[in-house]
Amino acid sequence: MNPLVDPAILFFVFGVFAGLVKSNLEIPPAISRFLSLYLLMALGLKGGFALAQSGLTPQVAVSLSLAVFLAVLVPWLSYQWLRRLLSGFDAAALAATYGSVSAVTFITAMNHLETHGLAYGGHMAAAMALMESPAIIFAVLMANRLRGQMAQTAPAGGPRMPIGKVLHESFTDGAQLLLLGAMLIGMLSGDAGQRAMQPFSGDLFKGMLAFFLLDMGLMAARNLPGLRGQSLWLMVYGLLAPLTHASMALALCWTLGVPQGDAVLLMVLAASASYIAVPAVLRYALPEANPSLYVGLSLGLTFPFNILLGIPLYAHVASVALGG
């Protein structure tokens, strides 16, 4: 199926259109939250069922280690470049946003692979969970460092954010716990659990994803105004960063012999940018940063780019490079 005529993708496009024409169409926040939790729960179950069949192998360890490495490398490299364009706090916040991951982009990519019959490992759901927190920790460390430098010249600098508190909130976040818990339940219940949950985690999945992408389209349209007045170089970053990060992931996957399906998902994870979990933490961890910048760029530009063009592009390039 052409990704641009996939019903889920078309609902995203329709949501963007409805938002741009200022329609009063909206998804109630409680429904949006439910859809998000459903998708994470279904994703975790799918991953757990797959892991119950394949087991924990050296290849699984390679993919998970690579995911953690990318989660550390991407925000560090992003900060080095963004510091040339932005204040330290804005650069740290944007680096964290692009160093973390988008669950919806990942789920859409997974749906793309299933539609095209390309296998991937169930452990990739765990890879997504592992890639969320390192960027947040990096941003808080950089912010504390900047506050320390400011305090030397201006004692009224902002308070340091305790790393322990950040670690606790990162690893006990409800959405992340649900994903990991559902994956564990899938592993423990195995084939019997998969048959029992098929109507929930299988048959309903496509429709729920389409409904959620409709809401994401509306949100993307609402965040486009946040891009007004921003530097052209930041717009370029919002488009080139996902391509660069995906290329880094592909090179590492090619070097380490990661299977094609897993490589595509690692490319998507590296290319995606968080617009929910990380911004929520940054609002209190880095109050000095501008939320309209990191939310507007990630949700208004990078997210639509990845959903409409990036995912099929990454899949095609991985197919050529890895001989699929």
CA dist 32 → 39, 60, 121, 271, 307 (Å):
11, 32, 28, 24, 18
Regarding pTM above 0.75, the answer is: yes
Residue 236 CA from chain centroid, whole number: 19
Contact 258, 63 (CB under 8 A): yes
Whose tokens are 């490589």? That residue is: 263
Classify residue 200 by burial, with Cβ atoms within 10 Å: 0-12, 13-18, 19+: middle
Residue 90 CA from chain centroid, whole number: 19
pLDDT for res 296: 82
Residues 6+ away with beta carbon under 8 Å from 241:
78, 98, 271, 273, 302
Say how far apart CA 233 and CA 121 lie, in whole Å. Answer: 37
pLDDT for res 324: 55
Output DSSP code: residue 22.
Answer: T
- CATH of region 3-14+27-322: 1.20.1530.20
The one-digit pLDDT tens for each residue of the chain (324 residues) are 555 567 888 898 899 899 989 999 998 989 988 988 888 888 888 888 877 877 778 888 899 899 999 999 999 999 999 988 888 889 999 999 999 888 889 989 998 998 888 988 888 888 888 887 788 888 878 877 877 777 666 554 555 556 566 666 656 667 767 878 888 898 899 889 989 999 988 888 888 888 988 988 888 888 777 677 777 888 899 999 999 999 999 999 999 999 999 999 999 999 999 887 777 777 777 888 887 788 888 888 899 999 999 999 999 999 999 875
CA dist 324 → 9, 265, 273 (Å):
24, 15, 27
pLDDT for res 234: 87
The neighbour count for residue 194, using CB atoms within 10 Å, is: 19
Residues 6+ away with beta carbon under 8 Å from 191:
49, 52, 53
Taking alpha carbons only, the member of 60, 56, 46 closest to residue 193 is 46
